[in-house]
Amino acid sequence: MEQLATVWRAMVLDRDPGADVRDLPGIAVRWAESRFAFWNCVTLTDAEADAGLTEKRLGQAADIMRAKGRAGYLWVFEDLIGAEARGTLREAAGRAGLAHAFSGTGMAGDLLPVPAPAHPDLTFVRVGTDEHLRAYAEINARAYGMPLEDGRDGLVGSALWKTEVHAYLGLRDGVPVTCAGTVAADGRLFVVLVATDPRWERRGYGEAVTRKALYEGARATGLTRATLHATAAGAPVYPRIGFEPNTPLHFFAVQS
């Protein structure tokens, strides 16, 4: 959760220096009003909150989200809340006007450095131009079923992604087909926006480009621990690299 709050602060302020970045009691707001919905984020921050407090926070988070102009997500780290609250989470979210959108898994590991990556189909290039960022954004948009323009709104024009994020494209015959990035945050490398064009899935491309981003990030920073938030589709990849699951993760959206 703290990694999310730290990294997303930088990401949303990169999109909009006037973004809503607040640390409220029990709630962190990181909201860029971007068409790229992942940059519009609220998360619960209380540790071991009981069912009553969790329901209160869900209601407060829903109120914040309803006041926004763009869609986004409430992120809930299941193992951060109390056992009773976990059992009633979806019902409590529903009472707050929130619908479960999808689930994922938080992972971490003392796994760095990793070996230099290689894949027979791919060459790797570090993101350094708006053309690279456009390709990176469009791969993410296709992977997550978003309009291409929504993906571009999340990345194109970013200075942060060209300098501080160790972001890489995997090219097949010169065409970008997969991408991954790492960024240093509070003594760890955080893996961000891993995606593969759906036309090129199940070839090991996502794992290869993630290894590249980790390898280069560790080489540049000397860090040895890494964290990430995996979608259900991506979760099987990361234990092969050395990550260990540590909490289920749930994403909620305002009910339409």
Helix (H, G, I), strand (E, B) or coil at 42: strand
Tell me if 23 is assigned to some domain: yes
Cα distance between residue 251 and residue 15, in whole Å:
22
Task: Render pLDDT for 53-68 as a digit per residue (tens, 0 to 9).
Answer: 999 999 999 999 999 9
Q: Do 95 and 127 belong to one domain?
A: no
Cα distance between residue 74 and residue 83, in whole Å:
19
Tell me if 101 is assigned to some domain: yes
pTM for the whole structure: 0.94
Cα distance between residue 128 and residue 109, in whole Å:
28
Per the structure, the complete domain to which residue 39 belongs is given by 2-105
- DSSP letters, 189-238, are EEEEEEEE-GGG-SSSHHHHHHHHHHHHHHHHH----EEEEEETTTTTTG
Q: Do 97 and 183 belong to one domain?
A: no
Q: What pLDDT does residue 134 have? A: 98
Q: Which of 105, 135, 156 is where one domain is finished?
A: 105
Task: Render pLDDT for 148-182 as a digit per residue (tens, 0 to 9).
Answer: 999 999 999 999 999 999 999 999 999 999 999 99
Q: Which of 75, 105, 135 is where one domain is finished?
A: 105
Residue pair 226/112 in contact (Cβ under 8 Å)? The answer is yes
% of residues, the chain, pLDDT over 90: 98
Cα distance between residue 161 and residue 10, in whole Å:
10
**Six token digits for residue 207:** 């794992």
Q: Do 12 and 99 belong to one domain?
A: yes
Q: What pLDDT does residue 256 have? A: 80
Q: What pLDDT does residue 252 have? A: 98
- Residues in the chain with pLDDT values less than 70: none
Q: Do 100 and 147 belong to one domain?
A: no
Task: List all residues 6 or more positions away from 4 whose beta carbon is below 8 Å from its beta carbon.
Answer: 28, 30, 41, 43, 75, 229
